[in-house]
């Protein structure tokens, strides 16, 4: 049984904190969520919504029911209980169907009608900014950029320092382009320990619903699955993003609409919009390894090739070492051939732009990757380790 207590708001120095006790089979821990004091009035202590979504996937995987001291919003309770849980249980026989015990709140909460989206300065968030600003749809123009620490930076102290250093870029961006910025921190992932890849939609809803009196619309960057890739079964290689077309509308209530921003678009289709968005020339940041773009990690390589494919390299001299890329182009194209051989769909799409530059020798060098592409079960085995070693 997961017991969700009553959320409380406290002010500590510069921060407003929403805290709540969560008890899992008798082990009680406090989950805290911290924002700047100026957002304190929007912290939602009247509902259990944020906590129910945050623990839902965990409850299904670990056989727990859920009990709440504070009511759940009617729309959310109805959507989750009547649709989402049944759909997931139908396709995953090892998932438990949690019984949710809570009062229902049907009245509307006050709302500041802000329109939010996360900002990491990567392709997804800059796509949201390129496409959801200056719209004729006044209630859908982004007003608030958010940077949340709910799991994507890892857990523990290392995650805290990574989060602190990664905040700087979004802060600068918001200041330069006149957006409000909401930076939040939480220990959610330390309390509900789960695989971020498998549960990120759920944990990412937590900061949004903690501030549900602030937002009426929220653009959550889509996970890059096309409509034809919609799946509910939990296979090892698939994230919970494969059913966001279902889960996000069901997490939405009549007060807060969550969109899967860029839904159904491929990475190159998103990048085509990003390269038209001038702030990206100064702020695009995709690196997996370092604060600035290293130019060599998988995401830097993929993005550089994408920008090159669109003929926009010169616009990105501030954020990438374009001269290095040009000098070492054949190494980059080789990486593309290798990744394509592994059947990664982003690279299959990219390869069509580089047809004239892919040589027979590159195909030959990518042969070990082709073998892994044909026999994916080898990827975690000895052969994969040998190939990795060989690549060095
Ligand atoms: Zn990098």
Tens-place pLDDT, residues 76-131: 999 999 999 999 999 999 999 999 999 999 999 999 999 999 998 999 999 999 99
Q: How far is the CA of 325 from the centre of ligand 1 (A)?
A: 13
Task: Select from 219, 200, 208, 220 the least CA-distant residue to 50.
Answer: 208
Write down the pLDDT at residue 185: 92
- How close is the Cα of 122 to the center of ligand 1, in Å? 12
The count of residues in the chain is 392
Contact at 8 Å (CB) between 109 and 213? yes
Q: What is the pLDDT of residue 289?
A: 83
- Cα 304 to ligand 1 centre (Å): 10
φ, ψ at 164 (rounded to 5°): -60, -40
Burial degree of 380 (CB within 10 A; 0-12, 13-18, 19+)? exposed
* Residue 333 DSSP one-character state: H
Apex CA 53: angle with CA 47 and CA 57, to 5°? 155
Distance 142 CA to ligand 1 centre (A): 28
How far does residue 320's CA lie from ligand 1's centre (Å)? 10
Report the separation in Å between the CA atom of 114 and the middle of ligand 1, taken as the mean of its atom positions.
33
For residue 35, give Cα distances in angstroms to 116, 120, 143, 207: 15, 17, 17, 10
Tens of pLDDT, residue by residue over 46-57, are: 999 999 999 999
Q: From ligand 1's centre to the CA of 207, what distance in Å?
A: 27
Distance CA 293, CA 291 (A): 7
- At 232 the pLDDT is 93
Rounded distance from Cα 292 to ligand 1 centre (Å): 8
> How many angstroms does the Cα of residue 293 sit away from the middle of ligand 1?
5
CA of 300 to the centre of ligand 1 (A): 4
pLDDT, residue 229, reads 87
Distance 306 CA to ligand 1 centre (A): 14
Cα of 378 vs centre of ligand 1, distance in Å, is 26
161 alpha carbon to ligand 1 midpoint, in Å? 19
**Mapping DSSP to helix (H, G, I), strand (E, B) and coil, where does residue 215 land?**
strand
Ranges under pLDDT 50 in the chain: 392
- Closest by CA to 277, choosing from 131, 177, 174, is 131
DSSP designation for 133: S
Task: Report CA(302)–ligand 1 centroid distance (Å).
Answer: 10
In this prediction the pTM is 0.88
């Amino acid at each position: 049984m997961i017991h969700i207590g009553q959320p409380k708001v406290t002010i500590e120095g510069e921060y407003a904190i929403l805290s709540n006790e969560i008890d899992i089979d008798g082990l009680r821990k406090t989950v805290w969520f911290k924002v700047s004091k100026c957002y304190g009035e929007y912290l939602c202590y009247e509902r259990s919504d944020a906590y129910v979504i945050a623990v839902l996937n965990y409850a299904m995987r670990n056989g727990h029911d859920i009990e709440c001291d504070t009511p759940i919003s009617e729309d959310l309770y109805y959507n989750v209980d009547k649709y989402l849980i049944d759909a997931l249980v139908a396709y995953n026989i090892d998932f438990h169907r949690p019984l949710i015990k809570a009062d229902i709140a049907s009245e509307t909460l006050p709302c500041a009608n802000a329109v939010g989206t996360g900002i990491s300065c990567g392709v997804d968030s800059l796509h949201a900014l390129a496409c959801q600003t200056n719209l004729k749809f006044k209630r859908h123009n982004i007003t608030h950029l958010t940077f949340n620490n709910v799991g994507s930076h890892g857990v523990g102290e290392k995650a805290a320092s990574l989060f602190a250093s990664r905040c700087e870029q979004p802060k600068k961006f918001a200041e330069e382009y006149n957006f409000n910025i909401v930076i939040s921190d939480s220990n959610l992932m330390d309390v509900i320990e789960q695989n971020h890849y498998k549960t990120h939609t759920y944990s990412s809803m937590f900061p949004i619903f903690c501030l549900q009196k602030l937002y009426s619309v929220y653009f959550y960057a889509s996970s890059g699955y096309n409509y034809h890739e919609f799946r509910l079964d939990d296979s090892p290689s698939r994230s919970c993003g494969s059913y966001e077309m279902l889960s996000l509308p069901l997490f939405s209530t009549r007060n807060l609409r969550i969109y899967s921003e860029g839904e159904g678009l491929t990475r190159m289709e998103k990048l085509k919009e990003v390269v038209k968005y001038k702030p990206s020339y100064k702020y695009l940041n995709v690196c997996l390894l370092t604060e600035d773009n290293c130019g060599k990690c998988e995401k830097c390589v993929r993005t550089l090739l994408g920008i090159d494919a669109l003929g926009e390299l010169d616009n990105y001299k501030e954020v990438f070492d374009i001269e290095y890329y040009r000098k070492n182009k054949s190494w980059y194209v080789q990486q593309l051939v290798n990744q394509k051989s592994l059947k990664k769909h982003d690279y299959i799409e990219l390869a069509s732009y580089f047809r004239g530059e892919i040589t027979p020798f590159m195909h030959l060098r990518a042969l070990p990757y082709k073998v892994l592409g044909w026999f994916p079960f080898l990827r975690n085995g000895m052969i994969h380790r040998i190939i990795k070693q060989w690549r060095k």
